[in-house]
Chain A
Amino acid sequence: MTWGARDVSVLYAGRPALVEVTVDLRPGQIAIVVGGDGAGKTTLCRSVVGLEAVAGGRVSRPARTCFQPETSGVWPELTVMENLEFVARGYALDRFHARSRIAELLELTDLADARDRPGRQLSGGMRQKLGVAMAVLSEPELLVLDEPTTGLDPVSRLELWSFIDLSARQGRAVLVTSTYLDEATRADVVTVLDEGRVLASGSVAEIISGMPGRIFVSNRKIGKQSWRRGASWRAWSETGDPIPGARAVEPDLTDVVTVAALAGEQR
């Protein structure tokens, strides 16, 4: 079974916000959409969950789909417990079942000790974990999380990813967006967006092996197709021909996405 977006285009005031974007979502798999601000990540999430009208292509989703917006969706004046109970009531969950499910989620998210704390007093990491817990409370088949890790420190990010991993293992299809390219390695499939267009898609290994040409490393800048990385410079040879004074290296995902952005810029 596959859900997601197929060749989806979205227009804002006549300007393209998404151009023929395809993302497949399968049960038990995590699909990540990575890109900077304005890449179209939120528009894609909103399209998949039906909050955005599409100008072209089609979206499909199961009846039980839950969406956590970038703002976490936590009500700041309600306590952790009240937030969860409110969502449970909204889904008309059986009271006994809801109570045991909430207790389970509080344990899994390490929020049990904060159950009486208002949403506004939670740290960013705690708020995002509560947001994901609220989204999975009703046991959706598809979970859509818009930038859940933005602004979180590395410790909170790892804890949140651990919880997202667990949600996928329970058989859910998960769509996550992120500005952090390094998070792509945590997902089964990756889509890199830039200005509404797909720069690259597939597994990390497929994306890397699909890059045309070769990457070289040098201690100086080499033309327009080179960029700084750490203490040295990377350069892209589109044809794969050797670059004098530089040595070839195996590209990683950052190299490949940078190359795709460079190529897009030069078109």
Chain B
Amino acid sequence: MTSIEARGLTRRFGDVVAVDTLSFGVEGGEVVGLLGANGAGKTTTMRMLLGLLTPTAGEALIGEVPVSEVDRRAMGYVPQGLGLYPDLTVTENVAFAAASFGVPGPSLAEAGLEHIADMRIGDVSLGMRRRVAFLVASCHRPAVLILDEPTSGVGPLGRARLWETIRQSAEAGTAVLVSTHHMEEAEECDRVVLMAAGSKVAEGAVREVIGQARTVAVAGDIGGEALAAISDEGGTVLSTGSGWRIVGLDVDGVRRVVGAEAGVEEVPATFEEAFVALSR
């Protein structure tokens, strides 16, 4: 059963089409990443799927039921701002959420949060606050979890532990939709949905999205004027330490600007480069 489904989802704000006939689904047990540039429509999509924003057209379905008819206990949500109470302790925040959903408070020890149980949320590190927010959103064991940038600002170890928790929820059957700006986190997802200007531009496993995308690598040094010229032609130039990678121009275009054939070649794109090419 598809647990989360966007079916032709559309939202206009005046003349602006923020989300345009978007369709995708997330199965129970699956982690799907929603990726896109700022303003691509990710948060608007999440808000429609949560029932916080009415679509102009199309449907948001949770467990194949329109979201407006769904019991809120079926859903868990971690917003970017986390939605915790800074003056309450970790225990109090979790107990309040559990009581609101009418379930017993979850074990802080099992969640690895026992050592900060009596600390005020405002005094807890961001990585720990994000883990508490996740526990608050998932304490009632929802069928669906929607996470808006859940690891933003957290170091690598904290991020690895958050993903461990997210994965455990998916393994227990929860459908997880997660937005992120970290390209390396796309690898944590079973599939990704890429949005640009309100529409879906790609969907699939990271490897499928990269597909045949290519980028142009330039070995060694190129002059500052050539770099500026590449930028003028619409290319985005990136240093790799030993050379350069150019997105947005083909190999002939780069050779023309650089004025050399040697050391300029097409190579397979990274996911980030494929993402940039698709988002243009």
Residue of A nearest to B271 (CB): A154
Q: Which of B36, B153, B161, B227 is close to A227, meaning CB atoms less than 8 Å apart?
A: B161
Chain A interface residue number, banded: 35 or more
| Segment from A8-16, A72-80, A133-141, A162-170 that makes contact with B | A162-170
A156 with B184: CB separation less than 8 A? no
Residues of B within 8 A of A157 (CB): 181
B227 with A182: CB separation less than 8 A? no
Q: Give residues 245-267 of A contacting B (CB, 8 Å).
A: 254, 257-258, 261-262, 265
Q: How far is the CA of A265 from the CA of B238 in the complex (A)?
A: 35
Residue of A nearest to B196 (CB): A155
| Segment from A44-52, A89-97, A145-153, A208-216 that makes contact with B | A145-153
Residues of B within 8 A of A158 (CB): 236, 238, 247, 272, 276
Contact of B183 with A by CB under 8 A = yes
Q: How far is the CA of A155 from the CA of B165 in the complex (A)?
A: 29
| Segment from A17-25, A34-42, A54-62, A113-121 that makes contact with B | A34-42
Name which of B38, B184, B227 has the most chain A CB atoms within 10 A of its CB.
B38
Residues of A within 8 A of B160 (CB): 227-229, 258
A124 with B38: CB separation less than 8 A? yes
Mask, B205-240, CB within 8 Å of A = 1, is 000000000000000000010011001100011111
Residue of B nearest to A203 (CB): B241
Q: Give residues 227-277 of B contacting A (CB, 8 Å).
A: 227-228, 231-232, 236-241, 247, 272, 275-276
Q: How far is the CA of A154 from the CA of B21 in the complex (A)?
A: 24
Residues of B within 8 A of A169 (CB): 224, 227
Residues of A within 8 A of B154 (CB): 36-37, 179
Q: Give residues 200-237 of A contacting B (CB, 8 Å).
A: 203-204, 227-230
Q: Which of B161, B187, B276 is close to A154, meaning CB atoms less than 8 Å apart?
A: B276
Q: How far is the CA of A179 from the CA of B164 in the complex (A)?
A: 20
B152 with A254: CB separation less than 8 A? no
Residues of B within 8 A of A159 (CB): 236
Contact of A125 with B by CB under 8 A = yes
Q: Which of A155, A194, A227 is close to B164, meaning CB atoms less than 8 Å apart?
A: A227
Q: How far is the CA of A156 from the CA of B154 in the complex (A)?
A: 20
Residue of B nearest to A188 (CB): B241
Mask, A62-90, CB within 8 Å of B = 1, is 00000000000000000000000000000
Contact of B39 with A by CB under 8 A = yes
Residues of A within 8 A of B125 (CB): 37-38
A166 with B224: CB separation less than 8 A? yes
Chain B interface residue number, banded: 35 or more
Residues of A within 8 A of B236 (CB): 158-159, 162
Q: B224: shortest Cβ distance to chain A, in Å?
A: 5
A181 with B276: CB separation less than 8 A? no
Contact of B182 with A by CB under 8 A = yes
Q: How far is the CA of A48 from the CA of B176 in the complex (A)?
A: 43
Contact of B158 with A by CB under 8 A = yes
Q: Give residues 179-212 of B contacting A (CB, 8 Å).
A: 181-184, 187-188
Residues of A within 8 A of B84 (CB): none
Residues of B within 8 A of A182 (CB): 182-184, 272
Q: How far is the CA of A124 from the CA of B272 in the complex (A)?
A: 19
B126 with A37: CB separation less than 8 A? yes
Q: How far is the CA of A150 from the CA of B153 in the complex (A)?
A: 8
Give me 23 A-to-B residue pairs in the complex whose CB atoms sit less than 8 angstroms apart, sorted by A's number: A36-B158, A37-B127, A38-B126, A125-B38, A151-B38, A153-B40, A154-B35, A155-B279, A155-B280, A157-B181, A158-B247, A159-B236, A161-B239, A162-B238, A165-B238, A165-B239, A185-B240, A194-B155, A228-B160, A229-B188, A230-B188, A257-B155, A257-B156
Binding site for B on A (CB under 8 A): 30, 35-39, 107-108, 123-125, 150-159, 161-162, 165-166, 169-170, 179-182, 185-186, 188, 194, 203-204, 227-230, 254, 257-258, 261-262, 265
Binding site for A on B (CB under 8 A): 35-40, 125-127, 152-158, 160-161, 163-164, 167, 181-184, 187-188, 224, 227-228, 231-232, 236-241, 247, 272, 275-276, 279-280
